[in-house]
Amino acid sequence: MMTKRIDFIVKRLQGHGFKTYLAGGAVRDMLLRRTPGDIDILTQAAIPEIQAVFPDQTVRVVGKTFSICIINGIEVSPGRAGSDAADFPESDLAGRDFTINAMAFDPFSEKIIDPFNGRKDIEDRVIRFTKDPLKRIEEDPVRMVRACRFLALIKGSFSLTTLNALHAFRDLLAGGVAKERIGHEILKAMALEKPSLFFSALQRTGLLSYIFPSLDRCVDLDGGPHHGETVFEHCLLVGDALLARLPVMRLAGFMHDAGKFDAARLENENLSFAGHEDHTREVLNDLTTLRFSVRDMDYICALIKTHMRPLTAETTPRAARRLLSMLDGYGLSYREFMRMRIADKKGNLAKTPYTLFDIRVRLKRLLDEIHQSSALTIKDLDISGHEIAGLLNIPPSPEIGKIKEMLFEKVLDDPILNRNDELKKLCLSFQIKK
């Protein structure tokens, strides 16, 4: 866990008589045998004292409510009670959110300071607020979402007092909380081994209805005759089946069937969700509230809208070309489409997941057309708008775009037509029909 930069900072501060430790998540991750994501150095020195210790380094002071120093890219936090605090670092650790994050570690003596039994809670896999749960939540209601993320991280459970506090004070999440911070916690959860534990914890505590009401309403929604699980359970299985290194796609997996609530209909006494992939409004409302970027929202929406497009061993070349064209229109690659299809099948308990052979056959259908077809997007047509305007003696106008769309439809059906002379003949035939 120690690097030269960390070693340098800790040694110099300790050499000047200031108690200095690694703290918080770095210690937690060390005990979990995980590579720490962020290193937080906690020191007894105050900001002016830190600056005085490092006159030969670039020291940036950031933060308004609680200022910290950035030294060589490493965060160094001064003790909250100041350098005169006799009970440092315990005085600082007491203000942290959970016991598993309220430990300090001296990397040279290898001593762990653990005033709230966080080490035991890690061993028992229990999430517990430090001291008074209400005070911790009132200080920052987003800690309730973090509680669910850390539960998923350690694959554990809530202590009874923590669970009761989350239930009792969940309304605080609807107050003046910066919603983008909740979105940030959600994306962090997507990097976990099983983010479904995060969503399950949100649902169990009642927090999901404040964050993703579009998904929360699917908790008891029957999956229909083609599924062996509820819609909510299916979404959790699909999200877990996607890659942790693709967090936004993974989030799309968790949300991909939320539109089934709006699409649900009884047809011949069977539950049907026909067209559910087009019901994206409520999901987009949730993502907008959470301040997700337009780019991420468009991407999630594209994955939802395309995930039902069929691709089988019997898919014709024409259908494969149309699928590829549609994906291009949504800004998606065939790889992204296939990842969603594979995860969607894996998350259906009534069906067998794709075998490697199944996947290869479907990929071949697409790759054959990618390699053989000369026009999979309208930009690939072997004729320009300028040529069309000159051929038909019309000025630049939206009509040229409509003509190109008609040409593209013809080429999708028969790629051989994507030759300049053939396209010109088609343009003239369109004009005659008019």
How do the residues of the chain divide into helix, strand and coil, expressed in percent and rounded to 5?
55, 10, 35
158 and 126 Cβ atoms separated by less than 8 Å: yes
- Please list the pLDDT of the chain residue by residue as tens digits (434 residues): 568 888 999 999 999 999 999 998 999 999 999 887 778 899 999 999 999 999 999 899 998 778 899 998 889 999 875 545 678 999 899 999 999 999 999 988 999 999 999 999 999 999 999 999 999 999 999 999 999 999 999 999 999 999 999 999 999 998 888 999 999 999 999 999 999 999 999 999 999 999 999 999 999 999 999 999 999 999 999 999 999 999 999 999 999 999 999 999 998 888 999 999 999 999 999 999 999 999 999 999 999 999 999 999 999 999 999 999 999 999 999 999 999 999 999 999 999 999 999 999 999 999 999 888 777 888 889 999 999 998 888 888 899 999 998 998 898 888 889 999 989 989 888 876 65
β strands within 104-232, DSSP E = 104-106, 111-113, 126-127, 157-158
The pLDDT, as a whole number, for residue 82 is: 55
Please give the Cα distance from 356 to 196 (Å, whole number).
25
pLDDT of 2 reads 60
Orientation of helix 317-329 relative to helix 334-346, angle to 10°:
100
| pLDDT for 84 | 56
Closest CA to 427 of 398, 376, 393: 393
- Retrieve residue 132's tokens: 């008074």
Bridge partners (DSSP) of residue 158 are 127
Q: Where are the alpha helices (DSSP H) in 16-132?
A: 25-31, 47-53, 90-93, 118-124
What pLDDT was estimated at residue 373? 76
| pLDDT of the residue at 293 | 97
For the chain, the straight-line distance linking the first and the last C-alpha, in angstroms and rounded, comes to 74
